[in-house]
Each structure stands twice: as structure tokens, then as C-alpha cells.
Amino acid sequence: MTSTVGRVVAGLERRSPPELASDWDAVGLVCGDPAASVSRVLFAVDPVMAVVDEAMATGADMIVTHHPLFLRGVHSVAPVTPKGRVVHTLIGHGIALYCAHTNADHARPGVSDALAAACGLTRTTAIDPPGGDVGTGRVGDLDAPATLGELAGRLVDALPVTEHGIRIAGDLDSPVRRVAVCGGAGDSLLEIVGDSADVYVTGDLRHHRAQDHLLTTGKALIDVPHWAAEWLWLPDAASALVADLGADSVATSVSAIDTSPWTAHLGRNQ
């Protein structure tokens, strides 16, 4: 069972073309020779040392992450910083790293489609389509109305367990039908979503912007953990790669390590 870094990259970019990425983003192959052979690809959200260790422990010779390793210019990859150590360890062990970030957000199916499916949405459009069918976030109607509490329960069941947990703003018994979602940090779409959806599901919502949205629209918000919401895309991306390259050419695995920053949650139930 063998493929190459180049063939894996081509398969990934057929599903998530790099030209769909935002201007500020840094997607693509970070390290690894396109001609090098690959037998196992590990999918993860963050290119951090815990994930590199997991790749070494499980025999993966390529890692695909959602988040980029570098977003700004660097002048050194010496192993004296966390990112430098990642680069050195990857190259030292012959492990390639590829990042599919906003191109995977904007592609269809993409990161927010996995979150939409977790909500029970089957037909969606992009919240912010720059043109055509692709774009940021998804919005659609549930097949049958649910309460805000039921929708949150679905997300609790679908998302990997985290210390961050799920936060809800709104009446748990209120009916919801039209649902907007955005994997990752979705603050920037609050104005576009406005009152067009009964509830907006996203991560990293800040106090003032969330409060303004609630007071202005009267609609609900569900704040899901950034890492967990984007993790939902990983099994989809892994399955698509196997479908494209053939099950006899590459094996995949999905990291279960919670690499979100939050390691404990003390709340009103403690």
C-alpha cells in the first residue's frame, strides 16, 4: 500500500482547490518531497508536536492539518521554538505536512458542511458566497423544526468531548428551523447572518459582538469549541482521500487528541 506525497496533495487539492483560500492564508505543502512515498496519512486540526508524536507512534508518513503551521514570514526554523521543533522533527523522520485551511472552509463539501450535517441540515447554501456555490459558512433549514435545546443536544452528541464545552444564548424551548453554521471562528459573519437564521452555530464568539447580535436580532447563538467543530471535517476529508486514491494505495487515520488550548472548565455545576 503506497502512494506519494504528490499524489496525496493532488487528491486533496481536487477537493479543496488552493485558489479558494483567502488572500491572507497560507495553505499547501509545508514540508515533504512530492516524490516521497506515503502509506498512511494522519488528519488533524493543529500542526503541533502532540500530533507529530502521534504520527510517529502510528507510522504515518504524512500529516494533513486544517490550521497552517506558519501564517507570517519566518527567518528561522531552528528547533528552539515550538514550530521550529515541529519542522525539524517532521523532516528528521521523513513525515510530510500539508495544510488545507480556508480552501477547505470554502470548498463544497467543506469544513462547515460537516458542522451543518451534525446539526441535521441536508440542503444548504454558503452564508457569504464570493461567487458560485462555494464560500464561508452554511445556512439551511432543518427537515423538521426542533427546539434550541434539541439542536444543542445534537451537537453535544456529534462533537468530540472537550473541556471547552458548548455555550448557548437563547431560550432552550424556543423553536428553531433555519440554522446558520460556520466552523472555526465565526464572529465575522454575525452581521451577514443577522436575523436571517433562528440560530447561528459557530466558535470563538466574543462578548460584545454576541450581545449586540442577541439584542439586535432576538435570535439565538450556540458557541461550539473551535477545535471540535473543525474536527468534524477530518473524517470526511480522510474518506474523500481514500475514495479518490483508492483504498489499496493509502491508509488514513484521524487524530483524537484534543489540541484546543482549554484543559479545564470550572462552571456552575462544579
Write out the residues near Zn ion by the rule CB under 5 A.
184, 230
| CB 254, min distance to Zn ion, A | 16
Pick between residue 105 and residue 198 the one whose CB is nearest to Zn ion: 105
| CB 159, min distance to Zn ion, A | 14
| CB 71, min distance to Zn ion, A | 12
Convert 111-149 to b/e letters by CB count within 10 Å (16 or more is b): bbbbbbbbbbbeebebbeeeeeebbbbbbbbbeeebebe
For residue 193, list its beta bridge partners. none
Pick between residue 184 and residue 225 the one whose CB is nearest to Zn ion: 184
Pick between residue 140 and residue 186 the one whose CB is nearest to Zn ion: 186
User: How would you list the strands of the sheet with 62-65, edge to edge?
Assistant: 28-31, 96-99, 62-65, 40-44, 251-254
| CB 224, min distance to Zn ion, A | 12
Query: According to DSSP H, which parts of 163-247 are helical?
Result: 190-193, 207-217, 226-231, 233-245
Q: Can you read off the three cell numbers belonging to residue 210?
A: 454576541
Pick between residue 61 and residue 230 the one whose CB is nearest to Zn ion: 230
Pick between residue 68 and residue 140 the one whose CB is nearest to Zn ion: 68
Residue nearest Zn ion, CB atom distance: 184
Strand ranges for 115-166 from DSSP E: 121-131, 134-147
Strand ranges for 66-120 from DSSP E: 96-99
The answer to whether 128 touches 189, Cβ cutoff 8 Å, is: yes
Q: Give Cα 1 to chain centroid, integer Å.
A: 28
| CB 259, min distance to Zn ion, A | 11
